[in-house]
Structure 1
């Protein structure tokens, strides 16, 4: 399994496989040193610093050089290795839990290497903590029921990615590549709505596929998404969206900074810092930084008396308000530059009027099917539990999703990997 994971990574990164090998050796050695020597805090600090140095060099050097000089050229263009954001955070969390004495340092290099490099969750998460998989990594065994459950979860994740996300991505790309001067408010809202569903089903689809493959080998990875678009507040959204990342920032940054134990002003500052870094973690551009600050701002608002009045609104109004805030935030994620983001948001609020029919024709029957499927699958509905309980209907659905996904993959060349910037 370790060899398969290295082959998988080498297939995508060739000589840059040395980056993940360095990360593995670094965290393996520092884990042993933290648990073996008295100056544990010093080794923890050095280990974290070296992890951050690794991710900073490969992910952020280009960004900072661009800010410092107007003569930025391809000579400075440092390659961004796949999955570096994920396996670096897993390494840091590993050092933390050893320092806290939650687990002992692993002295089996093969087993530890497998934990860092296991291919299903290597490049798109979820972020797995060693304490969550240590026991199952020792066995790597799955019974018949776990294998069937894993295949089912993998198939549904594949369907999310191929049937829904890829389909809606076509229309999101079309809108964002069109000259903004001819776009009306209705078209831009449909465009960002398409992207919102694309990124959700793409990301949650990858997470489900990773969890499904993990189950097939006897590994239980944590749930990473829990119907986030059903949230009635931004705080609830972050309890449901990319759960392993938000919990990572909570446990290893927000709580060490004082969490909710400090005064209100310190809480606000800590929250702002966490989401500033959360945005920067997603990518080396001002758009991601602004996206993080944007969410941090609304989380700060929800900690004021304004939230008391918001809670008095009908649930349906709170839902639409939260969903609208989330959609507007995704503009910073999707647009190429900060200028484009601001321009697009101005269009959302009617700068060019409501509708330009000639551009509205971008959306067709396939888009409508994608939006309907998104509405059925992205939000919590009562019929979901009933469908899962009916084994016959659920089995037919899974088989159908598998064959449709396979057909689309064979027949269609459009299969974007939108996490290359992460």
Structure 2
């Protein structure tokens, strides 16, 4: 539990002396009748606690004068009757010692104890507008009602999540280890699905191969709804119905990753259902692969985050012009086509995103400390995806040989002191590698 205790200490060090921070976890949600969705903790809460039970709350009290800082956990009380039905609960005593908190109390005492904790403190740090179930307004009103006895309520409020976003953006060694495992499991699942694919299968049959490999290797769940898109479905960016039959001669685009101990993998691979690329498919695939190589080369500490996208766009746009997807007579030079975003007809999304506990992880992409808010400089410890693509829908002037071809290639990387460490190399990516892998099935 050392990494979690260290993070709580870092938060306390950044708080105003004597201030209080409050952070609850996600509630359980009813699916239908008396059945609930599979529970998943709040990412911010887990980042500071490592504790995955519902009905839990962290309270941090910053040091002031001779009063030392305190980290308090509220969690469900031990209840043998409930545990018969729903499984083990730590309870406050075991949770305090296991997860390294200074104090722990039953969750049912949260409202009553918060009135005392918030009395005579200068400031409150809270997930503003994000967790109304914590009844912050009720606590503050109860403290203010004690004003006639000389008790004061916090004078200022601070957005706790903004502070945590900056911390979560830079991964520590513990997190990198978990992300490497998530990437390895996700890669194994893609390799399995790729080898299992045959024309005539339904997309959800291929998805089942992914899910089997995720769970078999200890992942708790998919990190997001898996995309298994064949033929024209690959041109729908967030397609996830996964119910079409895969036809001979088509490509299959899979965008999927697992969640392992709270951290997400996120991989996309595109491959031919029959194991052999056609000439047009190969041409576009190798264009996207070159774009990804250029984008990966732009992942260096000190370089702007936007440089990753710019590198991919330049390669893709040049290829679109050379292949006649873009008409040079209409869009002009390469720089003209980039400047007017002519490429967006076939490449309309960014080249990646932050990655971590959430598949689209927290953190700003611009340096908001500067007036013109330039693209943020990459730093060692940042985790991100690199995922260029090309999506060709039927349209006037677009060569018909490329119609209905959608390709995306995505890997997970950690920014290092010298460049990028790719976490997802365990699944074929080059044309020859893909064809050889599928032929061996």
Q: TM-score, normalised by structure 1?
A: 0.24
Q: Normalising to structure 2: TM-score of the pair? A: 0.23
* Structure ID, larger Rg: 2
Greater share of strand residues, 1 or 2? 2
